[in-house]
Structure 1
Amino acid sequence: MSFGSDIHDKPGPLSSPIERRHTTFPCESIPYVLSTADAAVILLSSLIGGTLYQWSIGNPTPNLLPHCAVGLLASFIHILRISGGGYYDFQYASKPRVEAVDILVSWVTTGLLLAFFAFLLKIGVAYSRGAFVIFFFLAPVGLLGVRKVSKLVLARAIALGMIGRRDMVLIGDQLELSVLEPRDLLAFFGAGDVNRFMLSKDEDPLEREANDIRVVNSVANFVRERNAREILLAVPWTDSARIDFIREHIKVLPVSVRLLPDMRVRSLTDYSSSARQNIMSVEILGAPLSLLEQGVKRLVDIVLASIALVFFLPVMLLTAIAIKLDGSGPVIFRQFRKGFNGQQFVMLKFRTMTVQENGPSVTQATRNDPRVTGIGKLLRASSIDELPQLINVLSGEMSLIGPRPHALAHDSQFEKMLSDYAFRHHVKPGITGWAQCNGARGATPKIEQIQERVKLDLWYINNWSLWLDFQIVVKTFFEVLRKRNAF
């Protein structure tokens, strides 16, 4: 009976970053390094082109400001143009062939756009055609050279184990994992060192299922601890029952899950050229928000939360004084909640009740609840008690907009009642959300009420956009004025 590796007694990664001899460079940083290198080459080529041309016409002190501006514009156009096809992605960049055609086509397109802008803006006087010609032919030489050098450096780093896929997990059965050679891992992952988990090889169905559950649970813990963003499956495509089993048990995680081609599928393709092409895989679960969307949402959170914190600081100071004058007890109420990916954090609120429940049993507030203090009634009705959560937003534990987090005791109860409840943790919890601005706030004594709230939360997750977040902010303002279900 085996559900881990032949070396480990417990299910876990067959190769863990903790056990590596070398300090691994995060592969998710590779696109930024490569794009920065290309930008530097283009900018330097523009400056060299301008300098050489000015010297050729007898001008020893050229004005390099126009050439710097053109270089920056060209860098932006070229990087934007070529990155759309995954040119800077780790898997693509680590393949040995230099994409000469892609680079040249992108650069010619960039040159034509620059010429169009020069004609449109009439900047020919400040930027000479001679300098542009030198720049136009010099830059692609540098881009090709940098690409070749970067591939050699990446190949060497991969061979030494200096680059690893800490953001990716590989789950597979024993046979499929055993036939994945270093060449295959390089083609699939862009690295020969990944976090691998082996499924059970038991023949008995009950033992196999029990051990697979333990492996999947280990994967879930690993994903949460290491903040992994992608899971790949290496199991036979004919084993649909196992694929469905893993998909069902892993869907609570906010990660993308892709099914790799198995041995039979690879044998039917020209797999010998895998190093020169994108490898086919099937996405069986999608992440709710892409990395770019998460980054944009985080940036908006930081900017708006900082402004809101400064704006509401006088209100918060007056509130703290009022709470202290109203009676004994702390100003801030702290309670454990579940956040993104089910990770626990301490949520902050102004204290509005005489009790501070934060254990396995938490009683929800009701209308005319005797535990609510005099000042607490005003704070809860106006939602001023939620303002300290701006600190949670700035610390990255919460977002301005998202599903409202519940007390841990209620989370455990609701997860047992509703199978889709855990999907709320696919995004960061929010100070307000789509459910709250549609009236689904306050106590949830009936299952129908929590069902409606979860339904609205999941709709938000599946339909997220910045425009939707803006609408929620506006609707929340009017919802606070209405004081619906606020007690």
Structure 2
Amino acid sequence: MTNHNQWLFRQQLSVVSLTKILLDPFVAVLVLIGCTLYFGEDFNGPYPILALIVFTLTFPGKWPEVTLRAFWNEVVMPWFFLSGLILLFGYSTGYLDWFPPDLVMAWMLVTPVAMFVAHRVVRRILPRLLLLEGGRRRALIVGAGHLGTELRGRFANDSALGVDVVGFFDDRAIERTELTDPQKLLGKLADIPAYVNRNGIDLVYITLPMASQPRTMSLLDALRDTTASVYFVPDIFVSDLIQARVDHIHGMPVVALTESPTLGVSGIGKRISDIVIASLILLLIWPVLLVLAIGVKLSSPGPIIFKQRRYGLDGQEILVYKFRSMKVCDDGDVIKQAGRADPRITRFGAFIRRTSLDELPQFINVLQGRMSVVGPRPHAVAHNEQYRKLIKGYMLRHKVKPGITGWAQVNGLRGETETLDKMRARVQYDIDYMRNWSLGFDLMIIGKTLAVVWRDQNAY
């Protein structure tokens, strides 16, 4: 394969997409610089270090929907939680003493407002940014099935992509397609080259199933007589994928269908954040741990810490720590999940389970590298062996380290999963977490966990 072809499978970063991912980090840093000037401080010494830390933790920036609720959930809440971690870390290390308190408070409060304004302004100037990329482009979609209509919907929901879908081409009759508007079906596949040349079409997206390879190859050959850019959207993307991407190995293209989101630099960043967060929390809560240990010891005979075998990263067995909340410690081939009014649970155990205090020793698991602060909750080995046979894709949740809290838990799926549907829903949330993982997403989940634990009574 030539050097030219080796570049074909590297992701193309547009001006618009680059603007989206850099907006929040740049705003946070610019507000910090503005605050230093306003308070008469020189932007040197600890300030550039703080700017670098914040830029790293807020990159890539979020681009939520235009609603205020979406902006609050995806941008403002993660920012305030990140601010809280910075304050906690700065206070515990003495680094906070380098900054005037009024400056720090002003920066943390002004930044989300500046981000909101910046998002509104950038949305208005996006059409001008699109001009730098040649303006809006007209596209055709080949194949009017589920994949084609899904692609059209994604273009319609994000005008910043700068793509207007003119219509569809398909050899099937309208009744056999997913289209509801007959006018959107413009013709057969054989009509595409002439239509492209006659109507100034810029992009052609082929969404035909892989079984239609001969038709696809024939169409590609015919489109060589046009100036349209041609993209192939494989039907494998109809399936649930995790971190799907296109890569190459010395020029040979490969498609990643299921990959851990925490490989490489991302994994290093997550590990550093785990160590920092777990260390700070253990430093703050050690008196609470001591009190809980005494309470467990006095509640019933037995060990203070309950060690249970769980599946960790890549399905490897690990030992997970919890404060013992039951009179017995089940860790065999058959384990009954704890439920409401379970006679095995002690009175003190019921309290620490309801408040999730029994999970606190797992921060030690995080420091050991067995777990992460955020990730799919680990299930007992016996439960894993049971559900992997009943739920398709169940074991995919082990592509990352298990977590003390997770996306499923902050969405109402804490505690007992007494039905198969509840477990299936939990697994789907875990897969969604891996598909959309970022450090900012982790921070948002941690913030929501604090609110959920405060009000939720579903864990027993």
User: TM-score, normalized by length of structure 2?
Assistant: 0.46
User: TM-score, normalized by length of structure 1?
Assistant: 0.44
Structure showing greater Rg: 1
